[in-house]
Structure 1
Amino acid sequence: MSGPVLTTRRPQLPHVAVGWPLLPVPDAEGRLNWPDPARSVRETIEALLRTTPGEQLMRPLLGAGLEALLHQPNTLETRARAHDAITQTLRTHEKRILLDRVEVDQGSNPGELLVTIAYRLALTGEPGRIAARIPVGGG
């Protein structure tokens, strides 16, 4: 038999909620590779930590606003503000995780904060962890 073959098969889309791939690049056949749920969540968390509220159109409250701490001294108050901003941002904007813990400690360098985020994927319970160093004003 020649000619087109009709099918009712639907295109393969992700089975769980994943975000649009960050910096999507098509493969050799022109397809976009969707990230797995763990990678999608990790990329979203990283984007939320780097975003300043008001930076995205139509989403004025999106982001942790950690850039505001750039010139602040590395004090208990600064670490508490960072902790609260990260916790609130993740609980508000990343519903695919169960947040287990957010730790903000003074790094080995007085000009940085060491942030550790522990979470589980809500869908599967798979644990995840992100550690980041955030520069602050020192002292």
Structure 2
Amino acid sequence: MPVPVSIPIHHLSLSRYRFIAMALPPPLLTWPFLTVPNGAGQLSYPSLEDSVRQRIEVILRTRPGEQLMRPDFGGSLEEFLNQANSLTTRRRIHDRITDALSRWENRIVLDRVEVNEVPAQPSHLRVEIWYRIKRTGTARQLGLTLQLEA
């Protein structure tokens, strides 16, 4: 087994540096979203539950191609905004959410996704997502409303 060697970056050629960077495994931790200074001016970070919820929202709102270096990232729910509120559309939204969260948020176990009509508003859908955080086993629910055709 090779012994890791620390080499200052300025001693590496650019092509060798790229090779080393590509060989590194993906990080185990991701940067939490929305760091906000507290009253003392120190940065405070969201809790694990808030970080996961924020990440889910980012995944669902991001269109594939928006993030650099990850052209497939996102759930692209905006794609459904001008479509009819039909059983086919609701099924496609359900499948899109399930696929995107299973692929891009590995800190959760997705328990259930429901996409239902809003009775008083025929152009609206209510999406409910039930998930558990793997590290803590904490069950959470996230709900959002989509307005389809205007």
TM-score (structure 1 length as normaliser): 0.81
> CA RMSD, aligned part only?
1.6
Determine if contact 1:54/1:62 at 8 Å carries over to the other structure.
yes
In structure 1, runs of 5+ residues without a counterpart are: 1-15
Distance 1:40 1:20, change over 3 A: same
Aligned to 2:5: none
Q: What is the deviation of 1:29?
A: 3.6
Structure 2 SS opposite 1:118: strand
Match of 1:88 among 94, 99, 119: 99
Aligned to 2:68: 57
Aligned sequence identity (%) = 44
- 1:71-113 residue CA offsets vs partner (Å, 9 max, x unmatched): 1000011001100110000000000001000001112211111
TM-score (structure 2 length as normaliser): 0.76
5 Å matches for 1:33-72? Answer: 33-72=44-83
Distance 1:64 1:47 in 2: 9
Is 1:135 the counterpart of 2:150? The answer is no
Determine if contact 2:36/2:45 at 8 Å carries over to the other structure.
no
Number of residue-to-residue matches in the alignment: 122
Distance 2:64 2:116 in 1: 23
Aligned to 1:126: 138
Aligned to 1:21: 33
Q: What is the deviation of 1:39?
A: 0.7
In structure 2, runs of 5+ residues without a counterpart are: 1-27
Partner letter of residue 117 of structure 1? I
Aligned to 1:115: 127
Distance 1:27 1:17 in 2: 23
Distance 1:57 1:20 in 2: 18
Question: Relative to total residues, which structure has the larger helix share, 1 or 2?
Answer: 2
Partner letter of residue 90 of structure 1? L
Greater relative contact order, per chain length (Cα 8 Å cut-off, separation 6+): 1
Aligned to 2:109: 98
